């Protein structure tokens, strides 16, 4: 027995050493990916001040290019499968139903609050009376699902928040950091686009972007974290909020 004990202890220590090495390697990989995408984010936001993108271009800048980088970095760290790449952006098989009910409830609640803040219930009642609401709302939801809700959530929650969470080992700081970045991402639009009240005023644009984008970024981030990293959950909340709150503008435009 005494002869075997050193061998067992040695194997245990070797096992612990191997696990520690894997954890260290994983931590370094997440750190590297986080830094790569933080640099990508800074360059991208600077570019938006020169050329504010359309929704269609967001699919290139916020989805296609980041995902290609994810695949490339994954191959460098020994994880080259498409399934691993999708899982690392919140599209993990077996987890795609987590948090969807909560996401729907929160999205509807946020959209309803936005209608109340805009005094938009009269517009919604008028649309319901005319029958337009029953095809406008589904259309608006689908439109949001294929535009901002999917593209922005893919990059900010699926890519950035996931990597910051893995790097720091805690979800709460990652939620707050990503929310701030999400708010700052809106600053170029708030400054350059005439539809924003802060148009042409940089300080007001920063305040507006951080306030509106930051608050909603926190909500989407918490939904993502609560759903155990299910990207579909934060996309659903984002889409429902945008679609319901946007009904007022459809009415204003006379649609």
For 87-113, letters b (16+ CB in 10 Å) and e give: bbbbbbeebeebbbebbeebbeebbbe
Half-sphere exposure of 187 (CA within 13 A, CB side): 20
- pLDDT band, residue 75 (cuts 50/70/90): confident
Give the Å distances, CA to CA, from 244 to 7, 44, 105. Answer: 66, 29, 12
Residue 3 pLDDT exceeds 60: no
The predicted structure's pLDDT at residue 248: 64
Average pLDDT in the 129-153 region?
A: 87
Which pTM does this prediction carry?
Answer: 0.86
The predicted structure's pLDDT at residue 77: 76
Higher pLDDT, 128 or 151: 151
Q: pLDDT above 70 covers what percent of the chain?
A: 84
Average pLDDT in the 143-162 region?
A: 96
Residue 86 pLDDT exceeds 90: yes
The predicted structure's pLDDT at residue 121: 66
């Amino acid at each position: 027995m005494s002869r075997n004990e050193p061998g067992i202890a040695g194997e245990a220590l070797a096992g612990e050493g191997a696990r520690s090495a894997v954890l260290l390697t994983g931590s370094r990989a997440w750190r590297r990916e986080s830094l790569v995408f933080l640099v990508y984010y800074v360059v991208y936001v600077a570019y938006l001040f020169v050329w504010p993108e359309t929704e269609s271009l967001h699919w290139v800048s916020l989805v296609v290019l980041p995902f290609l980088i994810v695949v490339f970095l994954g191959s460098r760290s020994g994880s080259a499968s498409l399934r691993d790449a999708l899982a690392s952006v919140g599209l993990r098989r077996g987890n795609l139903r987590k948090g969807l009910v909560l996401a729907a409830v929160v999205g509807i609640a946020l959209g309803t609050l936005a209608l109340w803040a805009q005094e938009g219930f009269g517009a919604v009642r008028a649309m319901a009376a005319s029958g337009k609401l029953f095809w406008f709302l589904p259309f608006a939801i689908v439109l949001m699902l294929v535009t901002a809700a999917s593209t922005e959530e893919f990059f900010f929650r699926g890519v950035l928040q996931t990597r910051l969470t893995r790097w720091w080992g805690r979800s709460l700081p990652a939620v707050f950091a990503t929310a701030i970045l999400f708010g700052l991402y809106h600053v170029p639009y708030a400054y350059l686009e005439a539809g924003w009240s802060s148009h042409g005023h940089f300080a007001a644009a920063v305040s507006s972007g951080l306030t509106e984008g930051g608050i909603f970024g926190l909500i989407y981030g918490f939904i993502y974290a609560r759903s155990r990293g299910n990207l579909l959950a934060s996309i659903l909340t984002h889409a429902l909020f945008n679609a319901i709150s946007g009904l007022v503008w459809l009415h204003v435009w006379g649609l």
